[in-house]
Amino acid sequence: MTTSTLSLPARLIAATAAGLLSVGLLAGCSDDEPAPAPSASASAGSDAAADEHMAENITEFSYAGQDGETALDLLLVQDPEAQTTGEGEMAFVTTIKGRTAEDGKEFWGLYVDGEMAEVGAGSLVTEDGQQIQWKLEAIDQ
């Protein structure tokens, strides 16, 4: 049966149903939130620039020790993007929070409760209550 053979009331009901279905589909496809303004993508670039600027300026980073966890393991939990050369007990931390120590000029020094650690981050087993701190230090030449 085609719409031309339907009676006028049946065609009106079919047209109304089709219209309601179309409106419902269109409403379901739209978001309640407005589309981002063109400046939103510009701010994403600004956020990246701000993050890079912040990484350039970071010189210290600290966190609490935990019984049985190494300073290196805790660092990687606090900053999963931290980078090292070497692994485990032989790891040497080169980058924290996006700030890479300048090769031959700087290093990330490890401190426990304000005192420079006597072992590396992969060897230093921390305890609850300790304050673990990393400081960007200049290499004396």
Residues 88-135 have pLDDT tens digits of 999 999 999 999 999 999 999 999 999 999 999 999 999 999 999 999
Round to whole Å and give the CA distance between 98 and 54. 9
Determine if the pTM surpasses 0.75: no
Specify burial of residue 134 (Cβ count, 10 A radius: 0-12, 13-18, 19+).
buried
Each domain of the chain, given as residue ranges in start order, spans 58-138
Q: What is the pLDDT of residues 55-87, one digit of tens each?
A: 678 999 999 999 999 999 999 999 999 999 999
Q: Which CATH number fits domain 58-138: 2.40.30.10, 3.40.50.150, 1.20.1260.10, 2.170.130.30?
A: 2.170.130.30
Cα 36 from Cα 54, distance rounded (Å): 26
Beta-bridge partner residues of 111: 116, 133
pLDDT of residue 22: 40
